[in-house]
Amino acid sequence: MNDNQHIPSGYKPSPLGPIPEDWEVKRLGEIGSFKNGLNFTPNEDGVSYYFLGVGDFQDKTDIHANELNQIRLANELDQEYHLKDDDLVFVRSNGSKSLVGRCVIIHANHIKATYSGFCIRFRTTSEETSTQYIKHIIDAGYLQRFLQYEGRGTNITNLNQEILGRLTFPLPNLKEQQNILNVLSLWDTTIAKQTELVEQLTLRKRGLMQQLLTGKKRLKGFGGGNFHRLGNYISECNRRNNGCKRVLSVTNTRGFILQEEQFDKIVASNDTSNYKVVRRGEFAYNPSRVNVGSLAMLKEYDEGILSPMYIVFKANENINKTYLLQCLQSWWFKGHIPAYTQGSVRDSLSFDGLCSMKFYIPTLQEQKAISAILEQADKEIEIQKQKLTAMQEQKKGLMQVLLTGKKRIITI
């Protein structure tokens, strides 16, 4: 963690590498105190508290306490277990390793709020340190790198006060902390606006799909169209493997991918002779996961093989493949799946069940026109997603240079 070989003017050596001469290296335990939460037994007639649990940490940066669920406890808690404004709460332990070490800023709003025994609360005791700044230190990866440096890796299953207390980072004075926070806040605002734009475009596309793929909205110049059984337009493919080595999986987010990309290794049997062949332009789905979107059309390869559990089918000449794919990716389709599934443990959509479903099928010309509109909507969403990703990466790069002092923001 030390790189002091080349120290520029105005900087000094430190255990973390060169830092500005007026910065300090601090441990988290030097500037604040920790407190583990308690495991509570709810009591219907007890004292009401807003309650921060591990489940509240998903993709959150800060949390307003009055947005939390409420519980009732038999007795009033000691003040040390009450959350206050600007408390920083970490996930200490959880079944999901990915959540351990995640933290949120609390806005308590002077109401009674407490936190789970699977959490650790940090509260700064230094008037020269901003909790928001410490949150950015965590978000910038200091905790993850510290754990890796100590040989604990990122899959740590239990975080404790001793580990957090030894977390080391460079710290400027309070004024420069605030200058850095002001700059990062501008980026956060821009990213939030871009995120909202992506969400709006996604909702707009969903609305278009609901109208165009069900016949509620018709394109000018087209007539006809009605609901028909899908079995009139598709046929099952049961070709068995003839020597193909490309083992594929179907995901609900990326469509067809190589199996080793999903599992970090090939998990197919040594004997793949009973695997099903899927060819470019054909469709496949997992009967037990189609309800979460594990259905796709093969576009990336000329041919591949799939586990025998998959159902492979192709479209006939009376339906546009892209239109069919859009129908099968629509919320309307997912909402109707339960009526056609079967099974006692996990509902499964058989090919016969899929064939029994009725879809709105207009003329081929209108199908192509509808597909073109929805594809254009997808392109707009993808462009804005790419912009959002670029903004997020630029902010990460900015954090790396601002939080290490490589670039300074100093006001007079």
Instruction: Transcribe 81-128 into DSSP letters.
Output: GS--TT-EEEE-B-S-GGGTT-EEEEE-TTS-EEEBTTEEEEEE--TT
For the segment 370-375, the average pLDDT, to the nearest whole number, is: 97
pLDDT on residue 45: 81
Please provide the average confidence, as pLDDT, over all residues in the chain.
Answer: 90
For the segment 239-243, the average pLDDT, to the nearest whole number, is: 90
Question: Do residues 239 and 277 lie in contact, with contact meaning Cβ atoms separated by under 8 Å?
Answer: yes
Using the predicted structure, report yes or no on whether residue 280 has a pLDDT greater than 90: yes
pLDDT 10s digits, 73-117: 988 999 999 999 999 999 988 755 667 888 999 999 889 999 999
pLDDT 10s digits, 286-331: 999 898 889 999 999 999 999 999 999 999 999 999 999 999 999 8
When pLDDT is cut at 50, 70 and 90, the band that residue 344 belongs to is: very low
Using the predicted structure, report yes or no on whether residue 150 has a pLDDT greater than 50: yes
User: Order of strands across the sheet with 283-285?
Assistant: 234-236, 311-315, 283-285, 295-297
Using the predicted structure, report yes or no on whether residue 265 has a pLDDT greater than 60: no
Question: Do residues 81 and 106 lie in contact, with contact meaning Cβ atoms separated by under 8 Å?
Answer: no
Question: Do residues 360 and 222 lie in contact, with contact meaning Cβ atoms separated by under 8 Å?
Answer: no
- Range with lowest mean pLDDT among 15-29, 51-65, 169-183, 207-221: 51-65
pLDDT 10s digits, 124-138: 998 999 999 999 999
Strand, helix or coil for residue 192: helix
- Range with lowest mean pLDDT among 123-137, 213-227, 368-382: 213-227
Give the strand pairing for 42-52 and 113-115.
parallel
Using the predicted structure, report yes or no on whether residue 371 has a pLDDT greater than 80: yes
Whole-prediction pTM value?
0.81
pLDDT 10s digits, 164-210: 999 999 999 999 999 999 999 999 999 999 999 999 999 999 999 99
Using the predicted structure, report yes or no on whether residue 1 has a pLDDT greater than 60: no
What backbone torsions phi and psi does residue 117 show, to the nearest 5 degrees?
-70, -10
pLDDT on residue 239: 93
The proportion of the chain whose per-residue pLDDT surpasses 70, expressed as a percent, equals 93
- Range with lowest mean pLDDT among 258-267, 271-280, 340-349: 258-267
When pLDDT is cut at 50, 70 and 90, the band that residue 39 belongs to is: confident
For the segment 237-253, the average pLDDT, to the nearest whole number, is: 91
For the segment 240-251, the average pLDDT, to the nearest whole number, is: 90
When pLDDT is cut at 50, 70 and 90, the band that residue 268 belongs to is: low
Using the predicted structure, report yes or no on whether residue 56 has a pLDDT greater than 80: yes
Question: Do residues 371 and 310 lie in contact, with contact meaning Cβ atoms separated by under 8 Å?
Answer: no
Using the predicted structure, report yes or no on whether residue 401 has a pLDDT greater than 60: yes
